[in-house]
A and B are shown apart, each in its own frame.
Chain A
Amino acid sequence: MTDSATADHAAPQRSTRRALLGAGAIGAALALAGSRPAAAGTSGLSENDVALTEFAISLELTARDLYDVAIDAGAGVGIWSTMREQHGAYAQRLAGIAGISATLRDDATYDLLVQRFETSDPSAVAYELENVAAATHTELIGTIEDVNLAAAMASFVSMESRHALVMAALSGEDDFDLLFSNTATPLSPEG
């Protein structure tokens, strides 16, 4: 990620879930991550599948690092370290299938959200992040050609949907529509 990407999407002080999701700020930032040229894969995947996989990996690594921030800010281990490990595992899984490295976090999105994760209880923003991740993988599954990649992403959606429910419950959410439906806007490489 470039410095300009960070500057272009410097974090506005958004404090509500609806504002974040409605503005699609994460999507705009991650669009830049997806716009870089796809690396040549060694797995026989199409160039488009490799590009989408890199995009998905950057989302997972961003989530992993944001949970690290919360842990360092006093959220402690337990469920937060679990969440960190979950997303790290998803990035590694995709990298393994595609034969590419899982190293590039999206700095712009990270910078956008990092302040909200600097807390001992990031459950509200984590709920948003998990919904965005699940929605994004759901969207990618409809585009990706390789069935193994699609199946792997489906297994992430299964768990990220559960993550979102748990995060919502931890944040005190009791609105059934928010608990049981995913209203997040999926991110896309095109923005």
Chain B
Amino acid sequence: MTSVPNPSLDRRALLRNSGLVLSFGAIVAACGDDRSGSDAPGRLGVAVAAPALPEAEVDDGVLLRTAQSLEYTALAVYSAAAGLDVLDSGEVALVERFVADHERHAADIGALAAGVGAEEFACPNPFVMDRAVGPILDALEGSDDLHRDVLNIAHAFESWAGASYQALVGSLEDPALRSAAILIGGEEQRHAAALAAAINPDQLVNPEMLGGVDAPDDAGFPVPYAIPATFGQLTGINLVVGARDDEGTRFSIQLQTPAANSLVYDYLSC
């Protein structure tokens, strides 16, 4: 007779089956109703627990405080740019006008915020300063063309301010505040258009709108246009500054209109 191994007594099968029984047992045990312990997510290591963020509501007051912080951010950018002393007299006159406009906008928005019971926020946006302005200014160290960089920075921030006010129209509850916001936004757009025309006077209209192609210039910088699109855009605004690094690339960043991380909630103070 030929001996036939009994599959049920095979060693590997025995181990496999016992493992299956153990696993199944663990699942059954986990489904029990007498378990206890922390519901917190599992953690590795001994790092300090993340602080709990305060509950915060996004209302017209928060949005106006945020808008005011953008004005102070623009003022901080211009203040830093002025210290570089690279603009000619005509450009300085332009910037001085823009600074005066931003100061007026900041005061107007502050009054609107107070009008809805919110506390004014008369300082730059902390998130934008940390995540955008600081790194941008750091990237100017060793720049191969500070004049170019300062104009591009001013253009990007004015475009960003204009887009931010446009975005606020879709978020503010009170129609009167929407109107007030876009009134200021329109002025920021004029600033941006003037800077675009100064940087790129030969192409006032984005060539894409005329059937051409919009591409970075030969040095890799986005090309600004006084009339960049059919509709006001809310997409990120690309900014490239500084000298090429060892790998041949320059510092680049995208400025975004205010969102959850950059809103100036009620619990924030200057």
**A interface residues, Cβ below 8 angstroms from B:** 78-79, 81-82, 85-86, 89, 93, 134, 137-139, 141-145, 147, 150-166, 169, 176, 179-182
Contacts and interface: CB of A to CB of B under 8 A. Distances in A.
Determine the main DSSP class of A at the interface with B.
helix
Contacts of A179: 190, 194
Nearest to A152: B231
A159 B190 contact: no
A180 to B, nearest CB: 5
Interface in B42-91: none
Given A163-B227, A166-B197, A166-B226, A142 B169 contact: no
Interface in B173-207: 175-176, 178-180, 182-183, 185-187, 189-194, 197, 204-205
Given A158-B163, A162-B227, A139 B179 contact: yes
Contact of B226 (A142, A162, A180): A162
Contacts of B229: 159
Nearest to A182: B186
- Interface bracket on B: 35 or more
Contacts of B231: 89, 93, 152, 155-156, 158-159
A142 B192 CA distance: 24
Nearest to B191: A180
B230 A89 contact: yes
Contacts, number: 129
A14 to B, nearest CB: 25
Contacts of A155: 166, 231-233
A161 B186 contact: yes
A154 B169 contact: yes
Contacts of A164: 190
Contact of B193 (A156, A166, A181): A166
15 contacts: A82-B210, A85-B209, A93-B231, A137-B182, A150-B169, A154-B169, A157-B186, A158-B185, A158-B186, A160-B186, A161-B189, A165-B197, A166-B197, A169-B194, A182-B183
Most chain B CB inside 10 Å of its own CB: which residue of A151, A156, A179? A151
Contacts of B166: 151, 154-155, 157-158
